[in-house]
Structure formats: structure tokens, C-alpha cells
Chains A and B, each alone.
Chain A
Amino acid sequence: LTEAQEAKQRSRPSTSPRAQVPALRFLLRMLLPSRWSRDAGDVQEFQRYRRIWRYVVALTLFVSLTPLVVMTELNHFMYRRALASESRYDVARALSNVSRSLEFVIQERMSALRLLVEERGVEELRSSEKLAVTLRNLKQSFGGFVDLGLIGPNGVQDHYAGPYNLQGNRYEDQEWFREVAVRGVYVSDVFMGHRQLPHFVIAVRRDAADGSFVVLRATVDMELLTSLVFVPDLGPSDDVFVVSRDGVLQTPSRHHGGLLEPCTVPIPPLSPGIERIEGFREKGLSFDLGYRSIARTPFVLIVLKSNPIASGPWQRTRTELLTILVVSTVLIGLVVLWSSTYMVRQIRVADLRRTEMLHRMEFTAKMATIGRLAASVAHEINNPLAIINEKAGLLKDLVQRTPGHPHGEKSLKSLDSIIRSVERCGNVTHRLLGFTRSMESTTESIDLPELLREVLGFTGKEAVHRNITVETRFAPGAPPVQANRGQLQQVFLNVINNAFAAVEHGGKVDLIVESPRPSRVRVTIRDDGVGIPEDKLPYVFEPFFSMKGKFGTGLGLSITYDLVQKMGGRIDISSKLGEGTAVTVELPASASHRGDA
């Protein structure tokens, strides 16, 4: 009982207010099996189909969604990896292109200075006029040079050519001078020159034969390098710039500080190659960060490229992927639900059909058994009944022939009662015998409308007495049936008598003959009488069921059923309490007519 209640409660949500919208209700019915609970009746049966349904839905969903999810996830992963490697490649390419240009430009100037001191000799440069000519030549052929100075081993700038008067400047205490004295070549950090323009210095040492040396020092306009620090198609938050090894910006950056300001990006320990930081986060953005130190200079090139995985395009792609996944999941879900529901519904219909067929077969077998049993019982009873009947009759004769019998009247009454009772028993046994009687019956081709008119002839009086309207509708061209006339009369007499018994005074009975298929003839007998309660309907063809109270034997319809079955036909009944009953008898058309169509 609790199970039944549970099932009821479970089935209830589907009939909630939502389901009152017809379209939604229709959709729910297409997709969910909840409606079965109503007509299933049997809770266990309902749960069985529910279980099959769940199993099918789960399995199909699993089988169809798993590849989808796996593919989407794989796609996602591959795309992400491709994006990441593309971004890495972009950074690497930018780093190597720009750093190569910078190295080349610086190296070119360094070589030019070295060539000057090596080829021309120091003596050639030891005059400010000559230095000025050289500077002009350098400017013309290389560009970027601002001034040129020759410094002796004591750190004093002996000669100078350039826009300022720097002759005689002393550099012996400066770091760069010591460095170039030791290493032979030096490139400085950027500094603001006298004109407030960024410059850097390239210095080369020239050793003299006597062990002393001079240093050729050139100031180069930083603009030369700045113009090279450029990467095409940079994103809005991307950046490329040069810093010194101690983190001072050597070129202006877009987002990380101006010239000569400390850089906001950390600088890792540097190696000659490319250094990389992935997923560097700044101001809520994620970047791929690449470093490359420029050979023989204090410069470090930095490229910042916003991480595509954390940024807009990737997020959009992800959203698209997710949307596709969700939409296809929903679609697949709907299709799976629909097909599972359809399939389980079909299974249920097939089951119901099979059960109905089994019931029918069982019923037929039961009928045959009951029939045989009834026949033998009836036969055994008929003989004793006949004896009782005749003995009682004899007594009656004797009493009647004995005038002044002391109990004459009473005895006669009793004997009549016995005889009437025997008659009643006889009626029952005769009908029981009729049930499976197989006295060889000859069949003939019978025109149903004609036969029905005959049968109506038997019952015509009752119809007139009770003012019952009998309406006949006989389709022209309905084929005849091959049957035994008496049996067929019996069939329709039973059904029509039932119809008459069911209607009120002034009721109406319809007789319809039609041919649904060329090989079948269908007779419908419909009344507007009391009808049969739904719970009784399944039993009307069983022997001893009667709606007529003590007036019926309960054998009429069961005999009818049996006869119709034997004729290869079928009989169906439908009824509504208070509205009437319709009995349909369908019979095979006579064989000679079947080929005609």
C-alpha cells in the first residue's frame, strides 16, 4: 500500500499547474512516462515499465553524451594548447627579431669605432678637427652618433668633436672608464645628455705599442634603438621595451613606466638565451613574459604579451564551446527522452496486446471446459428430472382421479410446484447443453439482413407492446455469411432479447449491418438502455452472469459467445452505465464471396 501511495505521489507532479498549459502537457506526455500511472492500474507493472524506461534513458544518455563531452573537453584542451604555443612562439619571435636588430645596430657602431682606431691609427684622430670630420663621416654612413671623444690613459678627454664643449673632461674615476680600460669595449646604460635627450655611450680601447692606451668614446642617440624596439600587431595591453640589468627602463614602455624609471616587471637571473615567465599577472591580466639580454650590452629586451587563455578571445571560444555542448546535450536529452518513452510505450502496448490475447485464449479454453462439464452434468440431470416430472405427473393424475381425496387441493398445489420447478431446471439444463452442443449442423449461405428480419419477427410483439423503436440500417452489398441458420438465429435472438430487456418502455434499438472489409460482415446491436457497469463488463460472456436478476439464466451471452467463436467470428461489447450498450458481432463472409473483392 505504501508503495502504491509513493507511486501516486511521484506521478502527481506531472499534473501540477505547469502541466495545465496544453502544449507543455503534450510535451511532457511525449517525453515522460508519468502518464502511465493512470491507466496502468497495477502499480508494480507501472514500476516495471518505469524501471525499463530509466534504464534505457540512462544507458542512451551515457552512450551518446560521453563521446560528446570527451570530444568537447579534448577540443578545449587542444585548442588551449595550440593557443598557448602560438603565444609562446609570438613572444619568442618578437624577442629574437628585435634583439637581433638591436645587437646588429650596436655591434655595427662598435665595429665602426674599432675599425677607426685600428685602421686609421690613434694619431689620425689626435686632433679635434680630424675628429669632427670623422664624426661627420660616421653620422653620414651610420647615423645615430652624437659626439666623439678621445681619452687618454689618465682619463682626460684630450680631443672632442660634438655639440658640447667637453674637451678636457676627466673620466678616470668613472666606472665606465675603468671597465673599458679592463675589457677593451664598453656600452653604457642610457642617460640623459645635456640636451635632455637619452643617449648611451660606446667606448673602445686602443692599445699603443708602448703599453699605454687611448679610449675612443662615442655618444649615440637612443632614438636609434628606440625606433627598433617595435613589434607589429601588439595587443592593447601588450608591451615591448628595454631595461638595464638593474631594472631601469631604457626605452619608454606603454604600460610599465617611462624612460629611466624603474621597471615594474621583475627581472629574473639572466642567461644568454631567452628567459620566459608564463602566466605573469599584473593589473588583473595574465601575460606571457619573455626576456633576452642583448649581447655585450647592459640592455635586456622584454616582451609582454597578454595570455590568450586568460583573455577575451579564449573566453569567447570557451563560451561558444560550452554553449554548443549545452545545446546539444539538451537536444540529445530531448531525443533520448522522446525515443525512450516511445519505445517503452510500444513495449507496453505489445505487452498489453499479448496479455489480452492470452486472456482471450484462456477464456476460450475455459469456456470449452465449462461447456463440456456443463453438458455432461446437464445430461446426467435431465434423465432424473424427467423421472421426477413423470412421477409427479402420475401422482397428480392419481389425485385428480380420486374424488374426495383428503388432501387433494394441497397435494395438487405441491405437485404443480414440483412440475414447475422441474421445468425451470429443464430450462437451465437445456441451455447449458446448448452451450457446446455439437450436433452436426449444416451450414448455408445466409443473408444477414434477411436473418435479422426473421429474428425480429420472433420478438416483434414485445417491441410493439413496449413501444420500442427498432431502427435497421443494412448496408447494401454486405456479403452473406456461411453458417448454421439455427445457430445464427440463436446468436442474434440472444443479443436482441438482451437489448430489449435493457431498454425502458419507449426505448430505442439500432440494428446495423455493414462490411468493414470485403471478407467480414459486422452487425452492431445498440440500445439506449441501462448499460452495464464497467466492473461487470469483463464477465458478461461468462456462464451464469446475468443482468436480468432472477429472470435470466446467465447463459444467453455465453452461448452466443461460443457460437460466434465457432463460426470464426468475434463478439465485442461496449457499454456505458445509463447510456446504453452496443454489441458487435463480426463474422467471416462466406467463402464464395471472399474472392470477389
Chain B
Amino acid sequence: MNEIRVLLIDDEEELVATLEERLGMRGIRAETATTVEQALERVRQVSFDVVVVDLKMPGLDGTEIVDRIRERHPRTGVLLITGHGSGHGELEQVTHRGYRILLKPFAFDRLVELIREAAQGGEAER
């Protein structure tokens, strides 16, 4: 199995940096982008297996970033993260427009699990 390539898009630099390091320890090659421009720039250059996008980015809505990425790489797996919550407490709403959502703060293991899932989904389609 190829190494999974992940782009972490969130304006919280500390968060994405830490995630990048931890994912790296688990054999997932992650990159970070803290602005929309940076993210789109990276996506132009590289095809990622999975993008992890904060739903609320300054400048552009998370879902719009996802739309732009999917335009270019329709098979890229998408995972949304948000600090706003889904609004349904215990009954965690697990999807938004068909994408998985993780509520901050999330369990790291769950993130890894979902990244692998998304990557596999992408591969299966491939």
C-alpha cells in the first residue's frame, strides 16, 4: 500500500503542525496549509489522497475549498473538521453533504481511522 498523502488545511497553525508530526509518526505523510491560497497552491502541485479541511477558514468557506479541490482531483478523499459542532450532541452528525465531519477536539485515533477510510475509498474508486 502506498504511503497516504494528506493535506491538512486549518488556520490554527499549532494544530496542523502537531497533527502533521503525529500523523508522520504513524506513516501518514501530511502537509499543512494555514490559508486558502496556500492550500489551493499545494493542491495545484500535488495530488493528495485525502484533504482534511476546517469548515471555517478565513476568506473562504471550507466546503468551497473542498469543491475547488474536487474539481481538480475528483478522487481525493475529504474529511471535514470543525469547532462549531454539528448541533446534534450525542447523535453526532457524521456527514455534511456526504463528507465525514469530525468535531474539534477529536480523538486522534478516530482521525487516523477516518483518514485511512477516506484514502481507501479514494483508492477503491481509482
- Taking beta carbons and an 8 Å cutoff, which residues of A are in contact with B? 375, 378-379, 382-383, 385-391, 393-394, 397, 401, 422-423, 425-426, 429-434, 437-439, 486-487, 489-490, 493, 555-556, 559
Q: Do B22 and A437 have beta carbons less than 8 Å apart?
A: no
Of A390, A426, A439, which is within 8 A of B87 by CB? A439
28 A–B contacts, CB within 8 A, in A order: A379-B84, A379-B85, A382-B83, A383-B104, A385-B105, A386-B15, A386-B105, A389-B105, A389-B106, A393-B22, A394-B18, A426-B104, A430-B89, A430-B92, A431-B89, A433-B85, A434-B86, A434-B88, A437-B86, A439-B87, A486-B88, A486-B93, A487-B88, A489-B91, A490-B88, A493-B90, A493-B91, A559-B89
Given contacts A382-B83, A383-B104, 14 further A-B contacts (CB under 8 A): A383-B12, A383-B15, A386-B12, A386-B83, A389-B105, A389-B108, A393-B108, A401-B25, A426-B103, A430-B103, A433-B85, A433-B87, A434-B89, A437-B84
B19 proximity list for chain A (CB < 8 A) = 390
Contact yes or no, A391 B18, CB < 8 A:
yes
Asked whether B22 lies within 8 Å of A486 as measured between CB atoms, the reply is no
- The CB with the most chain A CB atoms within 10 A, among B84, B86, B90, is that of B90
Residue contact A426 to B105, C-beta cutoff 8 Å: yes
B14 at the interface (CB under 8 A from A): yes
Docked-complex contact A430 and B85, CB < 8 angstroms: yes
Asked if B61 lies at the interface with its beta carbon under 8 angstroms from chain A, I say: no
Chain A residue with minimal CB distance to B82? A382
Q: Is the interface of A mostly helix, strand, loop or mixed?
A: helix
Q: How far is the CA of A439 from the CA of B82 in the complex (A)?
A: 13
Known contacts A387-B12, A387-B14; A490 and B90 CB within 8 A of each other: yes
Q: In this complex, what residue of A is CB-closest to B24?
A: A397
Residues of B within 8 A of A486 (CB): 88, 91, 93
Query: Quick check: A387 and B15 within 8 Å, CB to CB?
Result: yes
Q: Closest approach, in angstroms, between the C-beta of B4 and any C-beta of chain A?
A: 18
Assess whether A382 is in contact with B85, with CB atoms less than 8 Å apart.
Answer: yes
Residues of A within 8 A of B86 (CB): 430, 433-434, 437, 439
* B57 CB → nearest A CB, Å: 12
> Which residue from chain A places its CB closest to the CB of B92 in the assembled complex?
A430
> Could you tell me the distance between the alpha carbons of A382 and B84 in the complex, rounded to whole angstroms?
8
Query: Which residues in B have their C-beta under 8 angstroms from that of A434?
Result: 85-89
Interface residues of B, dominant DSSP: loop
CA distance A386 to B22 in the complex (A): 14
- For B13, give the chain A residue with the smallest CB separation: A387
Residues of B within 8 A of A430 (CB): 85-86, 89, 92, 103
1/0 per residue, CB under 8 A from A, across B38-75: the answer is 00000000000000000000000000000000000000
- Contact check, B85 vs A378: say whether CB atoms are below 8 A apart: yes
Residue of B14, B89, B93, B104 near A385 (CB, 8 A) is B104
Q: State the CA gap A82–B25 with chains docked (Å).
A: 124
A-B pairs with the 7 shortest C-beta distances?
A437-B87, A433-B85, A382-B83, A386-B104, A434-B89, A390-B18, A389-B105
Contact A433 B18 (CB under 8 A): no
A390 and B89 form a contact (CB under 8 A): no
Specify which chain A residues have a CB less than 8 angstroms from the CB of B21 in the assembled complex.
Answer: 394
Chain A residues with Cβ below 8 Å from B93 are 439, 486
| Contact across chains for B22 and A390 when beta carbons are under 8 A apart | yes
- B91 and A390 form a contact (CB under 8 A): no
Q: What are the residues of chain B within 8 A of A387 when measuring CB–CB?
A: 12, 14-15, 18
- Contact between chains at A382 and B88 (CB < 8 Å): no
Chain A contacts for B12, CB-based, 8 A:
383, 386-387
Q: With an 8 A cutoff between CB atoms, is B1 at the interface?
A: no
- Chain A residues with Cβ below 8 Å from B22 are 390, 393-394, 397
**Beta-carbon nearest neighbor of A455 in chain B:** B91
Nearest chain A CB to B80's CB is how many angstroms away? 12
What residues of chain B lie closer than 8 Å to A433, measured between beta carbons? Answer: 84-87
Q: Mark B1-44, 1 if CB is under 8 A from A, else 0.
A: 00000000000101100110110010000000000000000000
CB nearest neighbor in B for A393: B108
B105 and A490: CB pair below 8 A? Answer: no
- Asked if A382 and B103 sit within 8 Å, CB to CB, the answer is yes
Q: How far is the CA of A60 from the CA of B57 in the complex (A)?
A: 73
Q: Are B83 and A379 in contact (CB under 8 A)?
A: yes
- Shortest CB-to-CB span from B89 to chain A, Å, is 4
Q: How far, in whole Å, are A423 and B109 apart by their CA atoms in the complex?
A: 13
- How close is A563's CB to chain B, nearest CB, in angstroms? 9
